[in-house]
Amino acid sequence: MLKLIILQLTTTDTKAVRPYEKIEGFLSLLEDLKKNEVKIQELALDQPNWLPKEIPDKEERSCLVISKINSIVESENAWKECLIISDLECVMEAAVRLKIPIIGFDVPELGQDLFQADMLVQGFEEVDYTFVMQVYQRFYHEPVMMAKTSRLIIREMVLEDLDELYELYAHPTITKFLEPLYEREMEIEYTKAYIKNMYGFYGYGLWSLIEKKTGRLIGRAGLNNRRVDGEIQIELGYLIGVAYQNQGYATEACNKILEFAVKNIDCTKVNCFIHRENHASIALVKKLGFVYLKDAEIDKESLSWYRWTYAV
């Protein structure tokens, strides 16, 4: 559980009464973290003497920062319960070596290479406790819960889901209109990359549907990006295992996901691309409020394009 944020920002005046007031959104983040009982500890680096031009030896910088971070973490007894926010490359390097998750704040004027950050931000207006927790959970491969319904938990996929996912895909009707899973080793690598790149970068993707009463994986549903006619469209995708079909699970999950699209990613138009012979899927999207737009040629297939539009 996250209980400590180690904070280092070269752009702040640490002697000011409210040192972060010049960074838009940062005070709100601090208040949200404190409200959720996350402690803040500053990593003092005698700014700006920690820029590469001041300490050119990369290894020396890294070792000095590691020592300071170690001191903070040990004093708070917070190993595996902390996260770092920083705008310096040397702190990034130390975090990687210490295996501590880190959010990098990109300040172009500093000229820092922050590619190793678990998440890179250019501002804090949309960064809150939930955002920070998701970075922390993904670092430790903990499933991030996106939403709940009366019967379902909608959460990010984890590698442990694959056994049950292969069981769902074993039924021949599942792959009638969907691509099959890869061979096991390839699917593991694909899933790892998907978790890191899709969830980590976009904050959405295909999610696992967990039945509350049994804890079983009953399907997948979520949002993906698809290029159609030269433009990226956000697409709703869904799969319900045969044993769980015709029980309202798809409607329940998809309604919640459409709500997520509007509230969390400011998306008011969601699309579905469906084979004309997939009558069950067409009936579902019509029930959800999608309307037919046109036929579209996608990956050499002719699909029916349906769109849902949020009604204000």
Residue 59, pLDDT score: 74
Full set of structural domains in the chain with CATH? 4-139 (3.40.50.1000), 145-309 (3.40.630.30)
With a CB cutoff of 8 Å and minimum separation 6, the contacts of 254 are: 221, 236, 238, 284, 288
Residue 153, pLDDT score: 98
Residue 312, pLDDT score: 76
Question: pLDDT tens digits, residue range 272-293?
Answer: 999 999 999 999 999 999 999 9
Return the higher-pLDDT residue of 194 and 45. 194
Residue 61, pLDDT score: 73
Full-model pTM: 0.79
Question: pLDDT tens digits, residue range 293-312?
Answer: 999 988 888 999 999 999 87
Beta strands in the chain (DSSP E): 4-8, 39-42, 82-86, 102-105, 119-121, 145-148, 152-156, 206-211, 217-228, 231-240, 269-274, 291-298, 301-309
> How far apart are alpha carbons 124 and 25 in whole angstroms?
5
Question: pLDDT tens digits, residue range 21-31?
Answer: 678 899 999 99
Q: Is the pLDDT of residue 47 over 90?
A: no
Mean pLDDT, the chain, rounded, equals 91
- Least Cα distance to 206 among 221, 187, 228, 186 occurs for 221
Mean pLDDT of the 163-184 span? 94
The pLDDT-based confidence of 18 (bands split at 50, 70, 90) is low
The pLDDT-based confidence of 244 (bands split at 50, 70, 90) is very high
Q: Is the CB of residue 126 less than 8 Å from the CB of residue 116?
A: no
Other Cβ atoms within 10 Å of 54 Cβ, number: 11
- pLDDT > 70 fraction of the chain, expressed in percent and rounded: 92
Question: pLDDT tens digits, residue range 181-219?
Answer: 999 999 999 999 998 889 988 889 999 999 999 999 999
DSSP letter for 196, please. Answer: I
Question: pLDDT tens digits, residue range 68-111?
Answer: 999 999 999 988 999 999 999 889 999 999 999 999 999 888 88
Residue 55, pLDDT score: 54
4-8 vs 39-42, strand pairing mode:
parallel
- pLDDT > 90 fraction of the chain, expressed in percent and rounded: 74
Question: pLDDT tens digits, residue range 123-135?
Answer: 999 899 999 999 9
Question: pLDDT tens digits, residue range 262-275?
Answer: 999 999 999 999 99
The pLDDT-based confidence of 14 (bands split at 50, 70, 90) is low
Residue 101, pLDDT score: 96
Residue 51, pLDDT score: 53
